[in-house]
Structure 1
Amino acid sequence: MEPQAPPATHEVTNQVPPLEHYNLYESDATLTAAVEREGAAWHAQALARDGATLGAPEVIALAGAANRHEPELSTFSPRGERIDTLEFHPSWHRLLALLRQEGLHALPFDTPRTGAMAARCAGYFLHAQLESGSLCPLTMTFASIPVLQREAALFAQLADKLYAREHDPSDAPLAHKRSMMVGMGMTEKQGGSDVRTNQTRASAPGAASGRGAEYRLVGHKWFFSAPQCDAHLVLARTSADAPISCFYVPRYAPDGTRNAIRIQRLKDKLGNRSNASSEVEFVDAYGVMIGDEGRGVPTIIEMANYTRLDCVIGSAGLMRAALVQAIHHARHRVAFSRRLVDQPLMRNVLADLSLETEAATVLFMRLARAFDAHLAAARTGASESGVERAWRRIVTPAAKFWVCKRALEFTGEAMEVWGGNGYVEEGPMARFYREAPVNSIWEGSGNVMCLDVLRALERDPQGAHALFDEWRADAQDAPTLAAALDALQASLAAPAEHREAGARRLTQQLVLCAQAVLMLRSSPDAHANAFIATRLADAGAGLGGGRVYGTLPASFDQRAIIADAFRT
Structure 2
Amino acid sequence: MGTGIDYGEFDEGRHVNYWKLDRTLQRELRRVTDTETYDWAEPRLTEFGELIGHTVADNADYVDDHGPELETYDKYGDVKNAVRYPAEQLESDELVYEAGIVADAFEAPPGRDEPMPISHFLAMLHLLCYADAGFGCPVAMTAGAALVLERFDDGDLEPYYRGLVSRDYDGLIEGAMFLTEEQGGSDVGANETTARYDETAGCWRLTGEKWFCSNVDAEGTLALARTADAPAGTEGLSMFLVPHSDPDDGVMTKGDRRAFEGAPPGDAVNDQRYRRLKDKLGTIAVPTGEVEFEDTKAFLVGETEAGFEQMTEMLNLERLANAAASCGVMGRALLESRVQAATREAFGKTVDEFPLMREDLVDMTVDYEAATAYVHEVGRLFSERERARRNDRESDDADDTYRLLRLLIPIAKLRTGRMAVDTASYAMEIQGGNGYVDDFVTNRLLRDAQVLPIWEGTENVLSLDAIRAMEREDAHEPFTRVVEERLEAVTHPALADAADTVADEYEELAGALIALAGEDSEYAQLSAKRLAHYVFEVFTAALLLEEAQTSLENGDGRTAMVARRFVTTELETREARGITGGDRFVLEAFEPIVHHAPVDPDDLSQTVTADD
Same fold at TM > 0.5 = yes
In structure 1, what is the equivalent of residue 275 of structure 2? 264
In structure 1, what is the equivalent of residue 168 of structure 2? 166
Counting only pairs closer than 5 Å after superposition, residues 532-543 of structure 1 correspond to structure 2 as: 532-538=567-573
* Structure 2 gap ranges (5+): 1-7, 250-267, 489-495, 549-558, 578-582, 599-612
In structure 1, what is the equivalent of residue 366 of structure 2? 355
Compared with structure 1, are the counterparts of its residues 561 and 140 closer, same or farther at alpha carbon in structure 2 (3 Å cutoff)? same
Identity %: 29
In structure 2, what is the equivalent of residue 48 of structure 1? 46
Q: Which residue of the other structure, out of 560, 575, 582, is the alignment partner of 1:525?
A: 560
The answer to whether the Cα contact below 8 Å between 1:182 and 1:230 also exists between their aligned partners in 2 is: yes
Distance in 2, Cα, partners of 1:136 & 1:17:
29
Distance in 1, Cα, partners of 2:247 & 2:159:
12
The answer to whether the Cα contact below 8 Å between 1:265 and 1:279 also exists between their aligned partners in 2 is: yes
Per-residue deviation, residues 396-439 of structure 1 (Å, max 9, x unmatched): 11111011111111111111111111111101000000011212
Structure 1 position 555, deviation (Å): 6.8
Task: Give 3-state SS (helix, strand or coil) of 2:336's partner.
Answer: helix
Q: Which residue of the other structure, out of 203, 226, 241, is the alignment partner of 1:214?
A: 203
- Give the length in aligned residue pairs: 530
Counting only pairs closer than 5 Å after superposition, residues 219-368 of structure 1 correspond to structure 2 as: 219-239=208-228, 242=231, 243-256=236-249, 257-368=268-379
Structure 1 position 350, deviation (Å): 0.4
Distance in 1, Cα, partners of 2:15 & 2:584:
32
The answer to whether the Cα contact below 8 Å between 1:530 and 1:556 also exists between their aligned partners in 2 is: no
Amino acid of the residue matched to residue 169 of structure 2?
H
Compared with structure 1, are the counterparts of its residues 430 and 552 closer, same or farther at alpha carbon in structure 2 (3 Å cutoff)? farther
The answer to whether the Cα contact below 8 Å between 2:221 and 2:241 also exists between their aligned partners in 1 is: yes
Confirm whether residue 198 of structure 1 aligns to residue 233 of structure 2: no
Distance in 2, Cα, partners of 1:157 & 1:22:
38
Q: TM-score, normalised by structure 2?
A: 0.82
Distance in 1, Cα, partners of 2:56 & 2:196:
47
Q: Which residue of the other structure, out of 22, 25, 30, is the alignment partner of 2:24?
A: 30
Amino acid of the residue matched to residue 564 of structure 1?
H
Distance in 1, Cα, partners of 2:72 & 2:586:
60
Distance in 2, Cα, partners of 1:306 & 1:222:
22
Counting only pairs closer than 5 Å after superposition, residues 446-525 of structure 1 correspond to structure 2 as: 446-461=459-474, 463-476=475-488, 477=496, 478-493=499-514, 494=516, 495-497=519-521, 498-523=523-548, 524-525=559-560
Per-residue deviation, residues 462-509 of structure 1 (Å, max 9, x unmatched): x52222122123235411111221222222122143221110100000
Greater Cα offset, 529-538 or 97-106 = 97-106
The answer to whether the Cα contact below 8 Å between 1:530 and 1:552 also exists between their aligned partners in 2 is: no
Amino acid of the residue matched to residue 410 of structure 1?
T
Structure 1 position 335, deviation (Å): 0.7
In structure 1, what is the equivalent of residue 601 of structure 2? none
Q: Which residue of the other structure, out of 416, 421, 438, is the alignment partner of 1:403?
A: 416
Structure 1 position 387, deviation (Å): 4.5
Compared with structure 1, are the counterparts of its residues 340 and 555 closer, same or farther at alpha carbon in structure 2 (3 Å cutoff)? closer
Distance in 2, Cα, partners of 1:245 & 1:556:
58
Distance in 1, Cα, partners of 2:597 & 2:63:
29
Per-residue deviation, residues 272-312 of structure 1 (Å, max 9, x unmatched): 11210000101111111113212211111111111100100
Task: Give 3-state SS (helix, strand or coil) of 1:262's partner.
Answer: strand
The answer to whether the Cα contact below 8 Å between 1:129 and 1:318 also exists between their aligned partners in 2 is: yes
* Structure 1 gap ranges (5+): 1-13, 169-177, 545-550
Per-residue deviation, residues 219-251 of structure 1 (Å, max 9, x unmatched): 110111111111211111113653111111111
Compared with structure 1, are the counterparts of its residues 31 and 328 closer, same or farther at alpha carbon in structure 2 (3 Å cutoff)? same
The answer to whether the Cα contact below 8 Å between 2:107 and 2:114 also exists between their aligned partners in 1 is: no
In structure 2, what is the equivalent of residue 6 of structure 1? none
Amino acid of the residue matched to residue 121 of structure 1?
L
Compared with structure 1, are the counterparts of its residues 128 and 77 closer, same or farther at alpha carbon in structure 2 (3 Å cutoff)? same
Structure 1 position 553, deviation (Å): 5.0
Compared with structure 1, are the counterparts of its residues 231 and 107 closer, same or farther at alpha carbon in structure 2 (3 Å cutoff)? same
Distance in 1, Cα, partners of 2:183 & 2:296:
21
Amino acid of the residue matched to residue 222 of structure 2?
L
Distance in 1, Cα, partners of 2:50 & 2:77:
47
Greater Cα offset, 265-274 or 477-486 = 477-486
Distance in 2, Cα, partners of 1:114 & 1:157:
19
The answer to whether the Cα contact below 8 Å between 1:199 and 1:240 also exists between their aligned partners in 2 is: no
In structure 2, what is the equivalent of residue 155 of structure 1? 157
Greater Cα offset, 102-111 or 279-288 = 102-111
In structure 1, what is the equivalent of residue 93 of structure 2? 96
Compared with structure 1, are the counterparts of its residues 89 and 114 closer, same or farther at alpha carbon in structure 2 (3 Å cutoff)? closer
The answer to whether the Cα contact below 8 Å between 2:154 and 2:302 also exists between their aligned partners in 1 is: no
In structure 2, what is the equivalent of residue 374 of structure 1? 385
The answer to whether the Cα contact below 8 Å between 2:362 and 2:590 also exists between their aligned partners in 1 is: yes
Task: Give 3-state SS (helix, strand or coil) of 2:289's partner.
Answer: strand
Compared with structure 1, are the counterparts of its residues 76 and 21 closer, same or farther at alpha carbon in structure 2 (3 Å cutoff)? closer
Per-residue deviation, residues 358-406 of structure 1 (Å, max 9, x unmatched): 1111111111111111111111211252553244221111111011111
Amino acid of the residue matched to residue 448 of structure 2?
E
Counting only pairs closer than 5 Å after superposition, residues 373-452 of structure 1 correspond to structure 2 as: 373-384=384-395, 385=397, 386-452=399-465
Distance in 1, Cα, partners of 2:44 & 2:243:
33
Structure 1 position 254, deviation (Å): 2.7
Per-residue deviation, residues 304-332 of structure 1 (Å, max 9, x unmatched): 11110010000111011000000000010
Distance in 2, Cα, partners of 1:73 & 1:64:
20
Task: Give 3-state SS (helix, strand or coil) of 1:103's partner.
Answer: coil
Distance in 2, Cα, partners of 1:552 & 1:199:
59
In structure 1, what is the equivalent of residue 604 of structure 2? none
Distance in 2, Cα, partners of 1:65 & 1:306:
29
Task: Give 3-state SS (helix, strand or coil) of 2:387's partner.
Answer: helix
Compared with structure 1, are the counterparts of its residues 554 and 286 closer, same or farther at alpha carbon in structure 2 (3 Å cutoff)? closer
Amino acid of the residue matched to residue 134 of structure 1?
F
Task: Give 3-state SS (helix, strand or coil) of 1:288's partner.
Answer: strand
The answer to whether the Cα contact below 8 Å between 1:492 and 1:499 also exists between their aligned partners in 2 is: no
Amino acid of the residue matched to residue 471 of structure 1?
V
Counting only pairs closer than 5 Å after superposition, residues 62-101 of structure 1 correspond to structure 2 as: 62-101=59-98
The answer to whether the Cα contact below 8 Å between 2:207 and 2:293 also exists between their aligned partners in 1 is: yes
Distance in 2, Cα, partners of 1:181 & 1:489:
43
Compared with structure 1, are the counterparts of its residues 304 and 364 closer, same or farther at alpha carbon in structure 2 (3 Å cutoff)? same
Structure 1 position 21, deviation (Å): 3.5
Distance in 1, Cα, partners of 2:423 & 2:328:
12
The answer to whether the Cα contact below 8 Å between 1:29 and 1:565 also exists between their aligned partners in 2 is: no
Distance in 1, Cα, partners of 2:417 & 2:273:
32
Structure 1 position 559, deviation (Å): 2.7
Q: Which residue of the other structure, out of 179, 182, 207, is the alignment partner of 1:189?
A: 182
Distance in 2, Cα, partners of 1:114 & 1:164:
13
In structure 2, what is the equivalent of residue 108 of structure 1? 105
Distance in 2, Cα, partners of 1:101 & 1:140:
16
RMSD: 2.4
Greater Cα offset, 251-260 or 360-369 = 251-260
Greater Cα offset, 155-164 or 485-494 = 155-164
Confirm whether residue 557 of structure 1 aligns to residue 555 of structure 2: no
Structure 1 position 207, deviation (Å): 8.8
Task: Give 3-state SS (helix, strand or coil) of 2:299's partner.
Answer: strand
Amino acid of the residue matched to residue 190 of structure 1?
Q
Distance in 2, Cα, partners of 1:114 & 1:531:
35
